[in-house]
Structures are given as C-alpha cells and as structure tokens.
C-alpha cells in the first residue's frame, strides 16, 4: 500500500512568487490535512479537506489556500511568498476524520526555501 | 496560546534504560492524544495513541499514560534502543475537529549505546 506522496520534495522560490505543492493520499483515505513545520513554531495546522470541501482551517493568512480533487488528491498554494514562509510543508491523510481515531499518516514533506 | 506543551526540548538516555517523554495540555476538550516520531528529512510517523476514556495504552516497548485531572500524558519507552533516537511529538485532537491535530514543540531523544 503506497504511502502519502508529496511533490516536489524540495524547491526554492524568491519573495513575491507563488508556489503550488501537491499531495496524493493513501488509497481510500478521503481526508487530507496540511501542516507547516518551522524551527520556531513547530508543527502548525494549515487546513483540512474532506470530500473536496475545506472542513477546517488554521490561523494562517489568506495567502495560504488549498483544494481537493474528486480523487482525494490535494494541492496547497502560497501566493506572494515571504521569507517567513520557508518551512517544511507536510501533508497527512486519514480515512475518516472526526471518527475519534484521528491517526494521520504523514508524507515526507515539501521543503520550501524562500530567498 | 500553546495548548500542547513539551517542556523538555531534549532528553538523553542510556541504551536499555527507560525513556520518559512528557506532555501537558490545557484544552479540556481534547479527547484523543497521539505520539509521533520524526527523523530528519522525513514526515512524522505514528507511534501510539490513547483515548480520553483510558489512562494507559501499551504497544510493545511503548506505553502512553494519560492523567486527565493533571492534563498530562507521558510516553514510556522500555527498553530504549539507539534506533529510538529521533524527535518525538505529542499531539492532541478534539472529536469535532476532524484532521486537525495540535502538536507540542517536540522532544529530541538521544539513546546512547
């Protein structure tokens, strides 16, 4: 059973640019969540999608957005990049959110560096 | 407002001994708690979890204890092995919040041979 796949694994952008990250969940998983990991803030929740609908949103500015497709694959986009957006972006999938057993399976992450 | 706290950034333990990692939380709505292990350049890997209706859950060398009155949980690893060296994250969730986990800052465990 393939795990959660994130692409690209590494990327470098400059301030003001935008970036799109992709996530393919485990087959059969319908919920996809995104997290940002930075040395100073740890792992922070960005948003969650379930059945193509944003189910939950963290405390991030509107420059951060996402979407989910009918095959459960998800993308997140960050527009007008700032230096502080440099981070490891992690995607996680689960079968059924809110079931009381929120065991998320994480991908390896996309390491974004903003210069 | 840090709802989940791991106050020890690092912990060093001798191989074969017990490792105890601690986590405190403030939100009484949390009803499910998880521990994840993370190696550099990899995503977190699920280790063990516990529901708020229990006070202990065991899985092999790993045991998680939950003290709801103190809003405290701990992960015990016995015996510790060098391969256990990694960053350990405590996470909490609320049944109504779906895939949203609140993570602690992590504790870096080093198990020395």
Under an 8 Å CB criterion, which residues of B touch A?
31-32, 34, 36, 41-46, 49, 51, 89, 91, 93, 95-106
pLDDT band, residue A42 (cuts 50/70/90): confident
Which has more confidence, A88 or A56? A88
What pLDDT shows up at residue B21? 98
What pLDDT shows up at residue B94? 84
What pLDDT shows up at residue B1? 67
**In the predicted model, is pLDDT for residue A2 greater than 80?**
no
Cβ(A20)–Cβ(A91) under 8 Å? no
**In the predicted model, is pLDDT for residue A97 greater than 60?**
no
What pLDDT shows up at residue B41? 81
> Please, what sign has the CA dihedral across residues B67, B68, B73, B78?
positive
String of DSSP letters for A68-97: E-TTS-EEEEE-S--GGG-EEEEEEEESST
- Which residues in chain B touch residue A103, judged by CB atoms under 8 angstroms apart? 34, 46, 49
Partner residues linked to A21 by β-bridges: A76
What pLDDT shows up at residue A98? 55
Q: Chains A, B: CB contacts under 8 A, how many?
A: 78
Cβ(B91)–Cβ(B101) under 8 Å? yes
Q: For residue A89, which of A65, A110, A114, A60 has the smallest C-alpha distance?
A: A110
Contact B44 A31 (CB under 8 A): no
pLDDT tens, residue by residue, B3-51? 999 999 999 999 999 999 999 999 999 989 999 999 988 899 999 999 9
* Mean pLDDT along residues A47-52: 92
pLDDT tens, residue by residue, B58-111? 999 999 999 999 999 999 999 999 999 999 999 999 877 777 899 999 999 999
């Amino acid at each position: 059973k393939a795990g959660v796949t994130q692409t690209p694994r590494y990327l470098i952008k400059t301030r003001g640019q935008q970036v799109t990250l992709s996530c393919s969940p485990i087959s059969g998983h319908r919920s996809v969540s995104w997290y940002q990991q930075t040395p100073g803030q740890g792992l922070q929740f960005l948003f969650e999608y379930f059945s193509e609908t944003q189910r939950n949103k963290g405390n991030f500015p509107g420059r951060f957005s996402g979407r989910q497709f009918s095959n459960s694959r998800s993308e997140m986009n960050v527009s007008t990049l700032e230096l502080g957006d440099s981070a490891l972006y992690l995607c996680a999938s689960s079968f059924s959110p809110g079931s009381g057993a929120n065991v998320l399976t994480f991908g390896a992450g996309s390491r974004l560096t903003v210069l | 407002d840090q709802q989940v706290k791991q106050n020890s950034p690092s912990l060093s333990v001798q191989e074969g001994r017990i490792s105890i990692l601690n986590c405190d939380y403030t939100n009484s709505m949390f009803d499910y708690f998880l521990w994840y292990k993370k190696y550099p350049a990899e995503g977190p890997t699920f280790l063990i979890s516990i529901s708020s209706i229990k006070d202990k859950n065991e899985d092999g060398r790993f045991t998680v204890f939950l003290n709801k009155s103190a809003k405290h949980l701990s992960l015990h690893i016995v015996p510790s092995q060098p391969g256990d060296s990694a960053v350990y994250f405590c996470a909490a969730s609320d049944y109504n919040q779906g895939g949203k986990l609140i993570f602690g800052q992590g504790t870096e465990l080093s198990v020395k041979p």
